[in-house]
């Protein structure tokens, strides 16, 4: 790798996140709700439950069910998406559930269901990460017992350079080796609850990427924690 300093198109340092904003209590009807923003990517999430699980045959007598739904508003991207679920959104919904479940104490809610609805209002890459961050906060805001929060970030490899929190421009990187996108979700204690990868990378560099994610998720965790604390203190 060259030693010269890598210039990101928007002037950020390689390990610098975009500006973040977090807020809870944005949907008055919901039991818990939150907004999370990375730059121009805005996700909102609302939690309903724990509540009775229908249909009955889907009930789990051992633990509560976490049901996640990820959806992009049709106009959140430049090229309009047809409203309704797609293969992509169906997969992200499941990935989100897996990312959150390890920290949610579902064992307390046998036979019941917790609904988590995530909507992307505006997209500039890393939407699933913003969605997971908002969802984790909404669950905490709903007062659902959790062992920890989770925080999610996308690590990118642009040509040979690792960067934190990729935006759309970087996601479409074509020079050199192109772009590799690695969304990662971690607990505040550093356990991975979600990782995906699209592109190509060596094992040692992937280890490096995970270290970068560890550092970035700590920063995100502080933003999430502050928003949650502020909501209690202003009440």
Shortest distance, position 52 Cβ to another protein, whole Å? 11
- When binding is defined by CB under 8 A, the residue of 77, 110, 146, 192 that contacts another protein is 77
Residues in 126-155 at the binding interface with another protein, rule: CB under 8 A: none
Shortest distance, position 145 Cβ to another protein, whole Å? 21
The interaxial angle of helices 127-141 and 203-234, nearest 10 deg, is 40
**223 part of the interface to another protein, by CB under 8 A:** no
Count of alpha carbons within 13 Å of 29, Cβ hemisphere only?
3
Residues in 15-74 at the binding interface with another protein, rule: CB under 8 A: 26-30, 33, 40, 42, 44-46, 48, 51, 69, 71, 73-74
| Interface region with another protein, contact rule CB under 8 A, candidates 55-63, 75-83, 159-167, 218-226 | 75-83
Count of alpha carbons within 13 Å of 139, Cβ hemisphere only?
33
Shortest distance, position 45 Cβ to another protein, whole Å? 8
**Tally of CB atoms within 10 A around 96:** 27
The interaxial angle of helices 127-141 and 87-100, nearest 10 deg, is 50
List residues bridging with 46 in a β-sheet. Answer: 33, 117
Closest by Cα among 126, 4, 24, 113 to 70: 126
Instruction: Answer for the pair 91, 131: CB distance below 8 angstroms, yes or no.
Output: no
Closer Cβ to another protein, 27 or 209, answer by number: 27
Residue with tokens 């919901």: 30
Closer Cβ to another protein, 48 or 221, answer by number: 48
- When binding is defined by CB under 8 A, the residue of 13, 19, 75, 98 that contacts another protein is 75
Q: Binding mask 99-128 vs another protein (x if CB under 8 A, - otherwise)?
A: ----------------x-xxx-xxxx----
**How would you label 35-64 residue by residue, b for 16+ Cβ within 10 Å and e otherwise?**
bbbbbebbbbbbbbbbeebeeeeebeeebb
**86 part of the interface to another protein, by CB under 8 A:** no
| Interface region with another protein, contact rule CB under 8 A, candidates 83-91, 105-113, 181-189, 223-231 | 83-91
Distance CA 14, CA 198 (A): 19
Q: Which residues of this chain interact with another protein, rule CB under 8 A? A: 26-30, 33, 40, 42, 44-46, 48, 51, 69, 71, 73-80, 83-85, 115, 117-119, 121-124
């Amino acid at each position: 790798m060259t030693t010269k300093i890598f210039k990101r198109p928007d002037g950020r340092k390689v390990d610098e996140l975009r500006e973040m904003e977090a807020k809870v209590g944005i949907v008055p009807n919901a039991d818990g709700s939150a907004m999370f923003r990375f730059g121009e990517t805005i996700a909102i999430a609302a939690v309903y439950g724990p509540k009775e699980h229908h249909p009955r045959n889907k009930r789990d007598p051992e633990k509560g069910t976490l049901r996640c739904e990820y959806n992009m508003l049709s106009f959140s991207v430049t090229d309009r998406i047809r409203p309704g679920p797609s293969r992509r959104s169906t997969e992200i919904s499941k990935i989100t559930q897996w990312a959150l479940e390890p920290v949610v104490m579902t064992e307390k809610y046998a036979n019941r269901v917790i609904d988590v609805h995530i909507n992307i209002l505006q997209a500039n890459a890393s939407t699933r990460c913003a969605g997971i961050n908002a969802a984790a906060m909404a669950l905490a805001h709903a007062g659902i017992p959790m062992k920890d929060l989770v925080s999610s970030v996308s690590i990118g490899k642009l040509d040979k350079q690792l960067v934190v929190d990729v935006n759309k421009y970087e996601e479409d990187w074509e020079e050199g080796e192109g772009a590799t996108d690695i969304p990662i979700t971690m607990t505040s204690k550093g356990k991975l609850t979600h990782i995906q990868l699209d592109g190509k990378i060596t094992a040692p560099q992937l280890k490096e990427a995970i270290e970068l994610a560890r550092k970035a998720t700590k920063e995100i965790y502080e933003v999430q924690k502050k928003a949650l604390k502020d909501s209690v203190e202003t009440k």
